[in-house]
Amino acid sequence: MNKKITTGAVAILIAFFSMPLSAQEVDTVKVKETQTVIRDTVTVHDTVVKEVVRETPKQEPAKPERPPLRHGEFGLRYMPTFSSMSFRTYNGEVVQGDVSMSHGFGLMLGANFSKNVGIQAEASYLDISQKYKDQGLSRQVNVSYLNIPIMLSLNTDKTRMVNWNFVAGPQFGINLGASVQTTGDENSGTLRAVVGAKGTDVGLAFGTGLEFALNKAHTMRADVGYRGYYGLIDASADQTSNNPDTYNVLVRASRFYHAAYLGLTWCF
């Protein structure tokens, strides 16, 4: 009897201690399964999708197109001119005339071979007026010329809004007339002053200037600049007339003058 009781007690104890172990094993299996599921989930979420982003090159803003080169030019000119000449007095002395400003007007015709090189011709009327003293007498000498320079033109760029030019070339002058006016009492027995100048003269014209386009098409522009002239030959006449009672007041009519110019030009 006691043996049966002892055997039953042992069986109960074994069953009691077996229950936690089985539950623990089951929980362990569940934990393992849970961990496996978690690992699978992490693996799925660790997948990285990389997108390739291609950068497009930056486009520079388009430069405005320049108008085409205008090969022909026609313009009007106003030329205030400063000049000085030497004169001979009644008793043979040589004096320098006062520097004075004269007004010149003209036309310009040009041709452009490229944006940097061209040629231009001008025809301008100039009335030179000079004053000097002669033994208490005031004399004013007037000489009118038609000047025709033909010059090579070098430019920074004719297609730009602002162009800087340099010009140089020969100039031909045509004497259109001369006169002398005397203020004061001139003795009747003295020699009478007259102006004797050759009909033509030749020299060198040179200068520089700025050109400003007045519209986008560059068909009209304003011009401003400097023009100089140096005479290469003596334009005074050797003999004014056959009258022995006259003398030529011009000592050496080789002209040398400086001028500014303002102009309006049409380009085509």
**Whole-number Cα distances in Å, 176 to 79, 171, 247:** 18, 16, 20
- In the chain, which ranges are E strands? 72-83, 86-88, 94-96, 100-112, 117-134, 137-155, 162-183, 192-194, 200-213, 220-231, 246-248, 250-252, 256-267
Nearest by Cα to 124 from 227, 207, 224: 227
Tokens of 110: 């040009």
Structural tokens at position 261: 């110019």
Copy the structure tokens of residue 124. Answer: 């301008």
Cα-to-chain-centroid distance, residue 44: 70
Residues forming a β-bridge with 212: 162, 222
- Cβ neighbours, 10 Å, residue 229: 23
Note whether 143 and 110 are within 8 A (CB).
Answer: no
Q: What pLDDT shows up at residue 93?
A: 82
Q: Quick one: fold of 72-267?
A: Porin (2.40.160)
Count other Cβ atoms within 10 Å, centred on residue 248: 20
How many residues comprise the chain? Answer: 268
Closest CA to 249 of 231, 235, 236: 236
Q: How distant, in Å, are the alpha carbons of 53, 54, 190, 247 from that of 57?
A: 13, 9, 93, 85
Sheet of strand 86-88, all strands in order from the earlier edge strand to the far edge: 94-96, 86-88, 250-252
Beta carbons within 10 angstroms of residue 19's beta carbon: 9
Q: Which two tokens stand for residue 93?
A: 């002395």
Q: Considering Cα of 71, then 77, then 80, then 84, what sign does the dihedral take?
A: positive
Kindly list the domain boundaries of the chain, sorted by start residue. Answer: 1-54, 72-267
Whole-prediction pTM value? 0.70
Determine how many CB atoms are found less than 10 A away from the CB of residue 195.
21
| Spatial separation of the C-alpha atoms in residues 141 and 250, rounded to whole Å | 9
Distance of CA 233 to the CA centre of its chain: 36
Tokens representing residue 48 in the block: 């990285």
Chunked into runs of 10 residues, the chain (268 residues) has average pLDDT values of 58 56 45 45 50 62 81 97 83 80 95 98 92 83 94 97 98 92 71 83 96 96 96 73 74 79 97
